[in-house]
Amino acid sequence: MKAEIKFEPIANWGVKNPKPFIIAGPCSAESEEQMVETARGMDLTKVSAFRAGIWKPRTRPNMFEGVGPVGLQWLRTVKQETGLLTATEVANVKHVYEALKAGIDIIWIGARTTTNPFAVQEIADALQGVDITVLIKNPINPDVELWVGAIERIARAGISKIGAIHRGFSRFEKSAYRNPPHWQIPLDLRRMLPTLPIICDPSHIAGNTSLLEDISQRAFDLSYDGLIIETHCNPSVALSDAKQQITPYELSRMLGRLALRSPETSDPGFLQNLEELRGQIDKLDVEIIRLMGTRMRVSEDIGKVKKTQSITIFQAGRWDEIMNKTIEMGAAEGLSPEFINNLFKAIHQESINHQTDIMNKKD
């Protein structure tokens, strides 16, 4: 067993409003006026840090690639005028040195950089012995180990003020999200590193403004520690990510509507009720697993029969029949077709694996 890493809670990061910790600001720094106007519009009782990308990782060249180091000076102006902490993205050692020289409070490692252990290690080496807050975005691919690996590299450089940013994952299939959240992955991260603060980035998950509030509420309901939200004084003319940015006014309104629920309570009646319901869930899980075992054994028997007749494992007609039937039964139980589809795909795959073993076993 590796020793568990201990992370500094956000309350010890020198943040004015740590619960929840809100970072807001434009996708990209564009001009000093844009930065100051955006920052001045923020509700300083809720927002604690101001973000702006200076070096922008764009998919294709010839797009707006950021204003470069002059933007760091604009971040300093924002800090002088509002007292907000400053945050920017770093992707290489040069960026780290420039950000440290400018006295930036928080640096974040972007999703494309987290995918590359060489790049993360170089950043970690440059941060050795530095007292700064480092946020690590999830890698664009849905790989929790790669995310944990990047966090471990930064922790090993002696940084203790570390947070993770959940910004969603690249997609292949059509989706309502720009980067589907796959909530299970950040929850796995929480299980693996229980003291690590996690911040949600609904802007890059959604890719538009209409889903921001739902995603943010969901993050709070899953006891995330904060949000990073792209905010621009005039989103429609933003030089990057125009579709997903909101004005400071819209941000204040949205933050006012979000409900912050506590993960803990000491109300004995509530706790007893919760324990009772959790007991029911645990019993049902035992039954589900037993039923799955029984189902697989029947499926193995089918494998034996198929083997004696030399017929193939997969029969499309039978699969369609199962899917149609189960989707209909699921609907009657209030279960979505997507859920039934995923569930039965997984069951069917396991069944095929069992049958393949049987059919290829030497007698």
Residue 241 lies near Mn ion (rule: CB under 5 A): yes
Residue 205 lies near ligand PEP (rule: CB under 6 A): no
DSSP bridge partners of 47:
22
Site for ligand PEP in 145-184 (CB under 6 A): 167
The CA dihedral of 338, 344, 345, 351, to the nearest 10 degrees, is 170
Which residue's CB is nearer to ligand PEP, number 15 or number 87?
Answer: 87
Site for ligand PEP in 71-110 (CB under 6 A): 110
Q: Which stretch binds Mn ion (CB under 5 A): 2-10, 24-32, 117-125, 291-299?
A: 24-32
Residues 17-46, mask of contacts with ligand PEP (x by CB under 6 A): ----------x-------------------
User: Could you tell me the smallest distance in angstroms from the CB atom of residue 113 to Mn ion?
Assistant: 14
Partner whose binding site includes residue 95, from Mn ion, ligand PEP, none (CB under 5 to 8 Å by kind): none
DSSP bridge partners of 28:
53
Partner whose binding site includes residue 20, from Mn ion, ligand PEP, none (CB under 5 to 8 Å by kind): none
Q: Which residue is nearest to ligand PEP (CB)?
A: 110
How far is it between the farthest Cα atoms of the chain? 81
**Residue that is written with structure tokens 């697989």 in the block:** 296
User: Could you tell me the smallest distance in angstroms from the CB atom of residue 327 to Mn ion?
Assistant: 38
Which residue's CB is nearer to ligand PEP, number 57 or number 83?
Answer: 57
Q: What CA–CA distances, in Å, run from 259 to 200, 214, 255, 279?
A: 15, 11, 9, 27
* Structure tokens given for 250: 């819209």
Binding footprint of ligand PEP, residue count (CB under 6 A): 8
Please, what is the angle between helix 32-40 and helix 248-257, to 10°? 30
Residues 314-333, mask of contacts with ligand PEP (x by CB under 6 A): --------------------
Quote the CA–CA distance of 86 and 96 in Å, as a whole number: 14
Partner whose binding site includes residue 124, from ligand PEP, Mn ion, none (CB under 5 to 8 Å by kind): none
Residue 57 lies near ligand PEP (rule: CB under 6 A): yes
Partner whose binding site includes residue 279, from ligand PEP, Mn ion, none (CB under 5 to 8 Å by kind): none
* Structure tokens given for 307: 């083997």
Residue 53 lies near ligand PEP (rule: CB under 6 A): yes
Binding footprint of Mn ion, residue count (CB under 5 A): 2
**Cα–Cα–Cα angle for 141, 178, 145, nearest 5°?**
20
181 exposure class (CB count in 10 Å sphere: 0-12, 13-18, 19+): buried
Q: Which residue is nearest to Mn ion (CB)?
A: 27
Partner whose binding site includes residue 167, from ligand PEP, Mn ion, none (CB under 5 to 8 Å by kind): ligand PEP
Residue 27 lies near Mn ion (rule: CB under 5 A): yes
Cis ω on the peptide bond leading into residue 20 (within 30° of 0)? yes
SS3 content of the chain, % helix, strand, coil (to 5): 50, 10, 35
Residue 186 lies near ligand PEP (rule: CB under 6 A): no
The beta-carbon contacts of 33-37 under 8 Å, at least 24 apart in sequence, are 34/232, 34/233, 34/234, 35/71, 35/74, 35/75, 35/77, 35/78, 36/74, 36/77, 36/78, 36/81, 37/233
Give the SS3 label for residue 126.
helix
User: Could you tell me the smallest distance in angstroms from the CB atom of residue 138 to ligand PEP?
Assistant: 8
Q: What CA–CA distances, in Å, run from 324 to 33, 176, 343, 344?
A: 58, 25, 13, 11
Give the SS3 label for residue 25.
strand
Q: Kindly report the length of the chain.
A: 363
User: Could you tell me the smallest distance in angstroms from the CB atom of residue 306 to Mn ion?
Assistant: 53
Which residue's CB is nearer to Mn ion, number 78 or number 340?
Answer: 78
User: Could you tell me the smallest distance in angstroms from the CB atom of residue 190 to Mn ion?
Assistant: 24
Give the SS3 label for residue 175.
coil
Site for ligand PEP in 247-306 (CB under 6 A): none
Which residue's CB is nearer to Mn ion, number 168 or number 330?
Answer: 168
Which residues in this chain contact ligand PEP in the complex, by CB under 6 A? Answer: 27, 53, 57, 110-111, 137, 167, 204
Which residues in this chain contact Mn ion in the complex, by CB under 5 A? Answer: 27, 241
